[in-house]
């Protein structure tokens, strides 16, 4: 039996959990951080760690107030990183900057569709202007390193000088070192559930049946967070259910060692974040761009998804990449809520907090979320802002009108075909579009009279997911 008690137990040692633990520990709290050091299912270990908010903008995101609040959260989080990078350097005794890429180039190429790619590219530019964010148009043919296949030529480009990237592995290492140097304690195992007495949390039960006691508990275990809430089952039913946004990335040793200096990426498309690459230094290039919703987090990549990723990287980024060595294949599981928006704040049980559901933005938002949760634990006031929109016990937040969501699902499904270079005669895309629109409309109309999940959920609506959504919607009907 572990004889460990703490003021705060933080469950989950990815970027968000580790950041919360470090922030609380350096404020003078006695903190225990729970999680397997290997992080077998974490999103952070496979992340490109792009500190971008405008590069992630889509027409769907800006179609709702909740989506605009999410963009505002990303914008505020980006401003936290210079100080966070410095503070982690001092606290970890490793003052080398975490940054590995300076600026982001967003590429509009010929591999998607006008409705999705051109629409999102235009919306990115509109959001940049709305926020007064510096950017410039660039000619992709004048960019060093970029060498796509001739059939995937980039047509336009935007350079966003303030959207950088960090090395996610070094970030996690620094967070751990900073936490320990400040007196924190690590427990290298997974949590199995919570200990609740009456209306307050009193600790955490581990998978080995040992227990940790704590005055406060923060659950930040990514895609597996809600599985730990059986002790508060009725509350859990009123939280948007989580699924895993499973993604594959690769670290490539580039032949000759030449790397881009900036992030290079396409706009989000086909339910994913667009193909992208991030220089990691010493001839190593990160490539990513996949996202598949699964109800159970995945440990390993499928051959199909790895093949798709590498083919997209070769076609759209550099035809020279086939000569590169594959140093590592990485798998991450993003926590994706049923309405697409974060789950941050109190669960209505004394001392119990949740910090998950950040989808593709968790690492980017982690400094801001850490300070938000630390203030909440201390009972300190937090000024009204975008994060307060995303309290976890809530009815479904809207990501747009039902017809708009169905239409977005159809268009992104078609875009995935073009990105995979499907060969169909001209009349078939119209026929497929008609059938998909009919299928998706029926799926959402038979699910609930008014609540509609985001396009990723509509496109992957199997019986298990339908049951989870129906239970959640019933709790708010």
Out of 149-153, 269-273, 355-359, least confident range: 269-273
Could you report the per-residue pLDDT of 311-339, keeping only the tens digit for each?
A: 999 999 999 999 999 999 999 999 999 99
Identify the band that residue 384 occupies on the pLDDT scale cut at 50, 70 and 90: low
In 3D space, the residue among 320, 303, 304, 266 whose CA is nearest the CA of residue 288 turns out to be: 266
User: For helices 65-92 and 168-181, what crossing angle results, to 10°?
Assistant: 60
Q: What is the pLDDT of residues 242-254, one digit of tens each?
A: 999 999 999 999 9
Rounded to whole angstroms, how far apart are CA atoms 477 and 473?
6
Q: What secondary structure letter does DSSP report for 152?
A: G
Mean pLDDT estimate for the chain: 95
Give the pLDDT of residue 381: 79
How far is residue 93 from each of residues 23, 90, 175, 180, 266, measured CA to CA in Å?
Answer: 16, 5, 11, 11, 36
Q: pLDDT tens for residues 260-277?
A: 999 999 999 988 889 999
Kindly indicate the confidence band of residue 386, based on its pLDDT and cuts at 50, 70 and 90. confident
pLDDT confidence band for 3 (50 / 70 / 90) = low
% pLDDT > 70, the chain: 99
Average pLDDT over residues 409-429: 91
Domain at 101-163+244-334: CATH code:
3.30.9.10
pLDDT of residue 473: 97
Alpha-carbon distance of 217 to 202, in angstroms, equals 8
Distance CA 221, CA 46 (A): 15
- pLDDT tens, position by position, 20-77: 999 999 999 999 999 999 999 999 999 999 998 999 999 999 999 999 999 999 999 9
Two structure tokens written together for 150: 């001739």
Predicted local confidence at residue 229, as pLDDT: 97
Residue 384 or 357, more confident: 357
Is 80 exceeded by the pLDDT of residue 2?
A: no
pLDDT of residue 383 exceeding 80, the answer is no
Query: Are 101 and 278 in contact, with CB atoms under 8 Å apart?
Result: yes
Q: Given a cut of 70, is residue 147 above it in pLDDT? A: yes
Average pLDDT, stretch 87-109? Answer: 97
Consecutive H or E run containing 330: strand 325-337
- Which DSSP string do the residues of 372-404 spell out, in sequence order? HHHHHHTT----S-GGGGG-SS-PPPP-S-HHH
Which of the 8 DSSP states describes residue 350? B
Instruction: Inform me whether the pLDDT recorded for 1 exceeds 80.
Output: no
pLDDT in tens, 154-198: 999 999 999 999 999 999 999 999 999 999 999 999 999 999 999
> Minimal CA–CA distance to 468: which of 344, 265, 294?
294
Residue 341 confidence (pLDDT) above 60: yes
pLDDT value at position 245? 96
Percentage with pLDDT > 90 across the chain: 91
């Amino acid at each position: 039996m572990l004889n460990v008690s703490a003021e705060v137990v933080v469950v989950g040692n990815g970027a968000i959990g580790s950041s919360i633990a470090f922030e609380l520990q350096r404020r003078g709290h006695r903190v225990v951080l729970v999680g397997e050091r290997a992080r077998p299912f974490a999103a952070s270990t496979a992340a490109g760690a792009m500190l971008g908010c405008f590069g992630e903008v889509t027409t769907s995101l800006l179609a709702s107030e909740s989506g605009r609040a999410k963009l505002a959260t990303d914008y505020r989080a980006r401003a936290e990183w210079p100080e966070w990078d410095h503070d982690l350097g001092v606290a970890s005794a490793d003052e080398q900057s975490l940054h590995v890429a300076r600026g982001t180039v967003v590429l509009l190429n010929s591999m998607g569709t006008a409705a999705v790619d051109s629409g999102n590219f235009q919306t990115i530019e509109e959001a940049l202007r709305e926020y007064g964010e510096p950017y410039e148009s660039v000619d992709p043919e004048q960019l060093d390193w970029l060498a796509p296949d001739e059939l995937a030529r980039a047509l336009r480009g935007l350079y966003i000088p303030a959207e950088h990237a960090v090395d996610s592995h070094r970030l996690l290492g620094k967070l751990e070192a900073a936490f320990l140097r400040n007196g924190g304690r690590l427990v290298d195992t997974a949590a199995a559930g919570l200990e609740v007495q009456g209306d307050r949390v009193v600790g955490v039960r581990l998978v080995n049946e040992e227990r940790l006691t704590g005055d406060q508990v923060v659950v930040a275990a990514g895609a597996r967070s809600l599985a730990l809430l059986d002790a508060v089952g009725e509350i859990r039913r009123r939280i948007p259910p989580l699924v895993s946004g499973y993604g594959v990335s690769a670290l490539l040793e580039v032949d000759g060692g030449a790397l881009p200096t900036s992030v290079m990426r396409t706009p989000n498309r086909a339910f994913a974040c667009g193909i992208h690459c991030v220089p990691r230094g010493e001839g190593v290039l990160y490539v990513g761009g996949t996202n598949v919703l699964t109800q159970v987090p995945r440990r390993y990549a499928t051959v199909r998804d790895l093949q798709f990723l590498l083919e997209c990287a070769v076609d759209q980024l550099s035809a020279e990449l086939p000569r590169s060595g594959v140093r590592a294949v990485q798998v991450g599981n993003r926590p994706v809520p049923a309405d697409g928006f974060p789950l941050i704040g109190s669960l209505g049980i004394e001392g119990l907090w949740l910090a998950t559901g950040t989808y593709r933005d968790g690492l980017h938002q982690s400094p801001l979320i850490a300070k938000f949760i630390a203030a909440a634990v201390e009972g300190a006031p937090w000024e009204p802002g975008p994060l307060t929109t995303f309290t976890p016990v809530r009815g479904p937040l809207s990501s747009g009108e039902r017809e708009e969501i169905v239409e977005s699902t159809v268009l992104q499904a078609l875009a995935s075909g073009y990105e995979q270079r499907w060969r169909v005669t001209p009349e078939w895309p119209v026929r497929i579009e008609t059938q998909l629109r009919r299928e998706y409309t029926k799926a959402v109309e038979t699910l609930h009279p008014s609540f509609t999940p985001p396009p990723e959920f509509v496109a992957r609506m199997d019986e298990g997911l339908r049951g989870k959504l129906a239970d959640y919607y019933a709790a708010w009907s």
